[in-house]
Amino acid sequence: MENFRDADNREIVIEVKDVKKKFRSYQDKASSLKERFVNPSRGKHEDVMILRGISFQVARGEAVGIIGRNGCGKSTTLKLLTRILYPNEGHINMKGRVSSLIELGAGFHPDMTGRENIYTNASIFGITRKEVDRRLNDIIRFSELEEYIDNPVRTYSSGMYMRLAFAVAINVDADILLIDEILAVGDSGFQKKCFEKLKEIKASGTTIVIVSHSMDQMYRICDRLIWIENGLIRKEGVPKFIGEEYLMEMESGRIDRIEVENQQVKEELEQQLQEEATSESSEETVALIRRQKEIAHNETLKEVCKFYQPGARRGGRGGAKFTFVTLENSDGEETNVIKTGEYCRIRLGYKIEEKLPSVRFSLGITRDDGVYTYGTYLEYKESFKDSGEVILSFDNALLRGKYVLDLWLETLDGEALDSVYSLMPIIVKTDNDEERGFCTMAHKWTCV
């Protein structure tokens, strides 16, 4: 590969240009010559185009994530980079030693010990035995498999496989590291250790290309995301922007499917109720009515909140529900972006479907790293209405960051009628950097 640079004078180490890849899909593939002769139709096939012409470049030291639906061509792209597969059209240029984690335990022999497999696996990456001898202790120490390293790897769990494979791959001083979903395996402590190591080798100049469905992994590691859809690159750019747009589209598609399914179920239930109305089977009628209520309660959150978040989920036994949720800034505008110190209001619309003497509205705000930052509640007893809205007004004390809103509509003894988790992302902006943490406090400095 020629030594060339991009517009920002960065050295390019991966160049993918107009790459197309197709696979042959058999309807019923014959397993022998006799079967092909006796039944020629079993050899019928069609060519399925997975990649329709993708092009991108990756600079030295850059971490790039590839995202997309299942079957869009993510893993195929990674296998093309490792030269496990070759393109039908276009070309791929790579510069430097390549290390890959494509499949868990690929290259391991089940009857060999972990120690023996380190040597075998490292040789695949072009590492000499002398080099492995020098790094062996580091590899074993990182894998945390000291007491099992001389056992056959067939006795290892999937997590132990992953530890050993990852430990080898990151200790070969590769110029390019390719990873496909493997970081989803293993305990949280080891995953954190892997992330820290990835940051370290990235800082040393190693180029990383990773395929994952975990946006959290992508945001923490990648400088850029490439979104593949229908075999083409749909978008690429800043991880947060591309990732959020991708998640919103996936969530929108999921919600549309749920709404279609709910509508079909509603129509079926209505028809059954009409049939049951003339029968004497009151128990079945009651069950159908209960099912109708469940379907109504399980409506998607698209109509509840304009800024609903992908992954928001709903619970509760029913009998009451939130009908709308809005956050307003100091100008009375509906938004999900507010400032520190700004006067804001959260409006909660509700509808009570059962006869209840009173209810409790509870609200919680959690920072996106899991820190619970604030909670409050209102016990609604006086002048109780079956539907309406309650309003929480407040001066925002939260500092810069991303937060999520959780809501509960409960009976006074704590039974959840409707609960909505991670409903709305709340983005807080702060005009100055004089304070740290998640909230501001009234204060003054005095010099004496």
**In terms of domains, do 421 and 366 share one?**
yes
pLDDT of residue 316: 85
Tens of pLDDT, residues 244-271: 788 877 766 766 676 676 667 667 766 7
Which residue(s) pair with 100 in the sheet?
178
**In terms of domains, do 107 and 146 share one?**
yes
Task: Tell me the whole-structure pTM to 2 decimals.
Answer: 0.62
Distance from chain centroid for Cα 219: 10
**In terms of domains, do 137 and 198 share one?**
yes
pLDDT of residue 370: 78
Average pLDDT, 10 consecutive residues per value, the chain (448 residues) = 69 94 73 61 74 94 92 91 92 90 73 92 82 90 92 88 84 86 67 82 91 82 93 90 81 68 68 61 60 55 81 82 95 95 96 88 88 91 82 95 92 89 90 86 90
CB 440 within 8 A of CB 388: no
Question: d(Cα 65, Cα 44) in Å, to the nearest integer?
Answer: 37
pLDDT of residue 37: 58
> In the structure encoding, which two tokens stand for residue 70, read together?
């299942």
Q: Which of 410, 418, 405, 428 is nearest to 306 (CA)?
A: 405
**In terms of domains, do 227 and 292 share one?**
no
Q: Residue 219's domain is classified under what CATH number?
A: 3.40.50.300
The H or E element containing residue 140 is helix 129-143
Question: d(Cα 77, Cα 55) in Å, to the nearest integer?
Answer: 11
Question: Dihedral, CA atoms, 252, 257, 258, 259, nearest 10 degrees?
Answer: 90
Q: Which of 233, 237, 232, 234 is nearest to 222 (CA)?
A: 237
Cα three-residue angle 244-246-249, rounded to 5 degrees: 110
Biggest distance spanned by C-alpha atoms of the chain: 100
pLDDT of residue 254: 66
pLDDT of residue 374: 94
Does residue 445 lie in a domain region?
no
pLDDT of residue 447: 94
Q: Which of 429, 378, 428, 431 is nearest to 405 (CA)?
A: 428
> In the structure encoding, which two tokens stand for residue 302, read together?
């698209």
**In terms of domains, do 156 and 72 share one?**
yes
DSSP type of residue 4: -
Does residue 32 lie in a domain region?
yes
**In terms of domains, do 296 and 306 share one?**
no
Tens of pLDDT, residues 141-164: 988 999 999 999 999 887 888 888
pLDDT of residue 284: 62
How many other C-beta atoms lie within 10 A of the C-beta of residue 350?
A: 23
Instruction: Find the DSSP H helices in 148-205.
Output: 158-169, 188-203
**In terms of domains, do 310 and 241 share one?**
no
Domain-ending residue, one of 221, 245, 269? 245
Does residue 28 lie in a domain region?
yes
**In terms of domains, do 128 and 178 share one?**
yes
Question: d(Cα 223, Cα 414) in Å, to the nearest integer?
Answer: 45
**In terms of domains, do 144 and 69 share one?**
yes
**In terms of domains, do 350 and 383 share one?**
yes
* Measured CA distances, 37 to 27, 32, 40, 430 (Å): 16, 9, 6, 75
List the domain range (segments joined by +) for residue 151: 12-245
Question: d(Cα 269, Cα 140) in Å, to the nearest integer?
Answer: 60
Q: Which of 73, 97, 62 is nearest to 19 (CA)?
A: 73
Q: Residue 345's domain is classified under what CATH number?
A: 2.70.50.60
Number of domains in the chain: 3
pLDDT of residue 310: 66
**In terms of domains, do 63 and 166 share one?**
yes
CB 407 within 8 A of CB 362: yes
